[in-house]
Structures are given as structure tokens and as C-alpha cells.
């Protein structure tokens, strides 16, 4: 039980760091800014093309700042590393358990004022 709690806390910490914090040496913040620049400017000088590009990839801009979205992938990778066995039921339990923990914590937390 305590192993699963530690696992969930690690997933939550990494997911929140990737989605909302600067991270070590500002790398997480720099990554989010890089994604935004790639999508917003994407090599086109045409304003209409840029607007279409923003609409098309808006889900990425939202997802890269969302700890719950990050937890989906972080928990998947962490489950493969952390789970005591590679049986699919155990991996699924770890993967969805970590993601669910982050979702519950984030949805029950008061909104941050940036």
C-alpha cells in the first residue's frame, strides 16, 4: 500500500512540475514555451495560416499546461518502471491509479492565481 502511495506522489510531483512549474533550471517552463512558439509561429508569415494552425493545435497548447494530461503519460512510463511485475493487470492498475490520483488531487485543489 505504501509503495502505491509513493508511486502516486511521484507521478503527481512530476506531472505538476511538467504542467505548471518551472522545473529544474527552468527546463519545464522552457519546454512549454518552445511548444507554444512552434505552434504559434510554425514558419508561416500569413496571419490566416497562423490562426488556422492555432485552432488546429489548440489541444496541444492546453495539454502541455495540464498536470492531469501530463499524468496520463508520466504514469504510463512510471508504471513500466515501478510496477513489481509486467503483468498487464498490474501495469494497468499502476497506470490508471497514478493518473486518477493526480486527477482527484487537481480537481479538489483550489485554483492557483498565477
Report the helix count and the strand count for the chain, using DSSP H and E. Answer: 6, 0
On whether residue 114 sits in a domain, the answer given is no
Q: pLDDT per residue over 71-101, tens digit each?
A: 999 999 999 998 888 899 999 999 999 999 9
Output DSSP code: residue 111.
Answer: P
On whether residue 113 sits in a domain, the answer given is no
Is residue 71 within 8 Å of residue 12, measured between CB atoms? yes
Output DSSP code: residue 86.
Answer: -
Can you give the pLDDT at residue 88? 92
Q: pLDDT per residue over 33-72, tens digit each?
A: 999 888 876 666 677 777 777 788 888 888 999 999 999 9
Write out the residue range of the structural domain in which residue 47 sits. 2-108
Q: How many domains does the chain have?
A: 1
N-terminal to C-terminal alpha carbon distance within the chain: 35
Q: pLDDT-based confidence at 22, cuts 50/70/90? A: very high
Amino acid at each position: 500500500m505504501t509503495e502505491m502511495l509513493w508511486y502516486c506522489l511521484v507521478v503527481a510531483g512530476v506531472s505538476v512540475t511538467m504542467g505548471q512549474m518551472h522545473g529544474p533550471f527552468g527546463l519545464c517552463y522552457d519546454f512549454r514555451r518552445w511548444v507554444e512558439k512552434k505552434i504559434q509561429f510554425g514558419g508561416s508569415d500569413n496571419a490566416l495560416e497562423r490562426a488556422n494552425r492555432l485552432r488546429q493545435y489548440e489541444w496541444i497548447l492546453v495539454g502541455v499546461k495540464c498536470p492531469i494530461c501530463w499524468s496520463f503519460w508520466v504514469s504510463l512510463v512510471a508504471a513500466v518502471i515501478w510496477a513489481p511485475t509486467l503483468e498487464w493487470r498490474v501495469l494497468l492498475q499502476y497506470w490508471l491509479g497514478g493518473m486518477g490520483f493526480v486527477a482527484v488531487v487537481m480537481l479538489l485543489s483550489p485554483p492557483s492565481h498565477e
